[in-house]
Amino acid sequence: MFFRSKKRKLIFVISSALTIFLCLICVQGYSPFSEGADDYFHMYINDVKVGDFSTREEAESLFLEARRNVASEHQGIAFMDLDMRIESENVLTGEVTDYAVALETAERVVAASMREALSPSYTVKMGDYMVNLAGEDEVVALLNEAIDRYNPGGRFEARLVHAPGKDFNVFTAEIVDTYKETSHASSLSLPEGGIRTYLSAQGLPEEEEDETVSFEDYETGLVSIGFIEPIEIAEGYVPASHLSSLEEAIDTVIKEHETAYEYTIVAGDTLSGISLNLNIAVDDLIALNPDKLESVNSTLHINDKLVITVPEPELSVEHVERNYIEEDYDAEIIIIPRDDWFTTQSNVIQQPSAGHHRAIVDQHFINDTESEREVLIEEVDIEAVPKIMERGTKIPPTYIKPIYGGRISSYFGYRNAPTAGATTYHRGVDWAIPTGTSVQASCGGTVTQAGWSGSYGYMILITHPGGTQTRYAHLSSIGVSVGQTVSQGQYIGRTGNSGRSTGPHLHFEIIMNGSPVNPLNYIT
């Protein structure tokens, strides 16, 4: 009896265990046992565990879906740093990760690994400047915004066309006259060869052309418009952070900004003339060139370069306007060159007189500045009389400081006499400097005097081309002789305290037309 009871218990235990095992196998989320093969798969992305799967194919499919979902959120090309691996094992049972939970985890890891996406772009190169825009429409809008301020009524329109000889994804800008397009489309086409060929073929007499042109034959208004800088547009991809909005592009490309240029001084230039020609205030010129210009009376030197600033946009527009004008006008100045005169010398032979005319002109503008004017037809009511003047062609001599260092102890002009017997009108400038300092020729020329000269003490006088002279006084020694030719900067003597002097110094004069002038106005 006891044996039977024990047998029933054993059967019960085995049955219960078998029932529990079958239940575990049937419960969702557990993988069944397969003897002899791996049947439980763990997927990792960048060493982060995403989930457990019953098949390798399911894990791989989920990885591809996660990558596709993340990439679809970004336009263009997305770069991801991903390392996916699947580890497998053979188990009796195993819990399978819910697909939605695993997908969410995978997407989060994939998104974290993604580098900056490349977005579709149109890179617009205008001369040396570039801007990236998101689409073709924005490029066209930018180009049309640039010309619209000079394009009343919207007659001209910017369009993109394939750049000749370039790849298929490289474009350039073309300005189209929409009026001509419209009129061309609505006009009747003549036989090939034109009206002359047609009339000749029909045996009809050709119309004689009236070559007389009058003001009424010209239609005024905007004639043409185009860009100064060569434009190239390339379609491609750039990081999204490199894209500019249309508003930013308009602000940086079209709005004017100050651009620095150098202007080289030529013979006959004056500060006021440069100011008028370049449309920049004299005070601004002085402020931009403190090393060359101290005031409105500063001397200009040929070939010196002045810094000027001109307001210009990155994209400049050239446009031609045809206008009727009726105005006074001046004839061009007639200049007669005089090779024996310096460029600072001139003489007016005939004073000008303004004329009056009517004309149709094509005015060429770069942005808002007129660059050229072409007269198409003109009627003169009063002929202008030109200004005729003689002007020298020889470059005048330049002067350098005759010593290095020193302190100005007495300026040019009226002063209190520094010592008994000294003049109250100082004919030069004095530099206090130790005895024995080298003195150099301020300008090249011929030594006219070299020796003792009364109150000047030991003195050198040099005559330069054109008749100007320089004097060096109160020297301690003289290193040149009368009749000797010296070049600018050449050693001629040493400073001292000779003659009527209150201390070691150099007295220096520049003499023009027999009269002393302020040396500080001429020393470069």
476 lies in the same domain as 423 = yes
Q: Where does the pLDDT of residue 6 fall: very low under 50, low under 70, confident under 90, or very high at 90 and above? A: very low
Question: Is 3 part of any domain?
Answer: no
Report which listed range, 71-85, 261-275, 286-300, 494-508, is most confident.
494-508
Structure tokens at 358: 């009517």
Question: Is 194 part of any domain?
Answer: no
- 300: helix, strand or coil: coil
140 lies in the same domain as 108 = no
> What span, in angstroms and rounded, lies between the C-alpha atoms of 519 and 524?
10
338 lies in the same domain as 387 = yes
> What span, in angstroms and rounded, lies between the C-alpha atoms of 172 and 390?
51
Cα-Cα-Cα-Cα dihedral sign, residues 236, 242, 244, 250: negative
Predicted TM-score of the model (pTM): 0.48
181 lies in the same domain as 243 = yes
- For residue 283, count other CB atoms closer than 10 A to its CB: 10
Q: Average pLDDT for residues 21-26, to the nearest whole number?
A: 46
284 lies in the same domain as 234 = no
Residue type (1 letter), 96 = V
Q: Average pLDDT for residues 260-273, to the nearest whole number?
A: 80
Residue among 397, 403, 398 nearest 472 (CA): 403
Domain count, the chain: 5
Question: Is 437 part of any domain?
Answer: yes
Report which listed range, 150-164, 275-289, 484-498, is most confident.
484-498
State pLDDT tens for residues 57-101. Answer: 999 999 999 988 988 877 666 677 889 999 999 888 789 999 999
Q: DSSP for 401-447?
A: -SSSS-EEEE-SEE---SSTT--SEE-SEEEE--TT-EEE-SS-EEE
What pLDDT, on the 0 to 100 scale, is given for residue 27?
A: 42
What single DSSP character describes residue 148? H
Q: Where does the pLDDT of residue 196 fall: very low under 50, low under 70, confident under 90, or very high at 90 and above? A: low
31 lies in the same domain as 89 = yes
239 lies in the same domain as 339 = no
- The helix (run of H) or strand (run of E) holding residue 379 is strand 369-382
Backbone region of residue 474 per phi and psi (left: phi > 0; alpha: psi in -120 to 50; beta: other values)? left
Q: What residue has token string 């306007």?
A: 321
What pLDDT, on the 0 to 100 scale, is given for residue 9?
A: 54
State pLDDT tens for residues 201-218. Answer: 555 555 555 567 888 889
State pLDDT tens for residues 365-415. Answer: 998 888 888 999 999 999 999 999 998 888 788 899 999 999 998 899 886
Which residues in 189-333 belong to E strands, given as ranges?
221-227, 231-239, 257-264, 305-312, 317-329
List phi, psi (to 5°) of 100: -65, -40
State pLDDT tens for residues 430-445. Answer: 999 999 999 999 999 9
106 lies in the same domain as 128 = no
Q: Average pLDDT for residues 500-519, to the nearest whole number?
A: 92
Q: Where does the pLDDT of residue 104 fall: very low under 50, low under 70, confident under 90, or very high at 90 and above? A: very high
Question: Is 239 part of any domain?
Answer: yes
Q: What residue has token string 């497998």?
A: 88
The parent domain of residue 265 ranges over 257-312
Contact 258, 136 (CB under 8 A): no
> What span, in angstroms and rounded, lies between the C-alpha atoms of 508 and 408?
11
> What span, in angstroms and rounded, lies between the C-alpha atoms of 312 and 315?
8
> What span, in angstroms and rounded, lies between the C-alpha atoms of 478 and 491?
10
Contact 231, 173 (CB under 8 A): yes
Higher pLDDT: 230 or 419? It is: 230
Structure tokens at 491: 């050693």
509 lies in the same domain as 461 = yes
- 59: helix, strand or coil: helix
List phi, psi (to 5°) of 14: -65, -40
244 lies in the same domain as 154 = yes
Structure tokens at 277: 């020609």
Q: Which among 78, 113, 148 is the end of a domain?
A: 113
Q: Which among 312, 333, 348 is the end of a domain?
A: 312
Asked if the model's pLDDT at residue 148 lies above 60, the reply is: yes
- 192: helix, strand or coil: coil
CATH of the domain at 517: 2.70.70.10
Question: Is 139 part of any domain?
Answer: yes
CATH of the domain at 326: 2.20.230
Question: Is 145 part of any domain?
Answer: yes
244 lies in the same domain as 125 = yes
Quote the mean pLDDT of the chain.
84
Question: Is 210 part of any domain?
Answer: no
Q: Which among 97, 113, 129 is the end of a domain?
A: 113
Residues 6+ apart with CB under 8 A from 297: none
The length of the chain, given as a count of residues? 524
> What span, in angstroms and rounded, lies between the C-alpha atoms of 27 and 20?
10
Of the CA atoms within 13 Å of residue 442, those in its CB half-sphere come to 28
Q: Spell out the long-range contacts of 148-151 with Cβ–Cβ below 8 A and sequence spacing 24 or more.
A: 150/222, 150/225, 150/317, 150/319, 150/365, 151/222, 151/225, 151/319
Question: Is 12 part of any domain?
Answer: no
Q: Where does the pLDDT of residue 190 fall: very low under 50, low under 70, confident under 90, or very high at 90 and above? A: very low
427 lies in the same domain as 473 = yes
Q: What residue has token string 């050709």?
A: 206
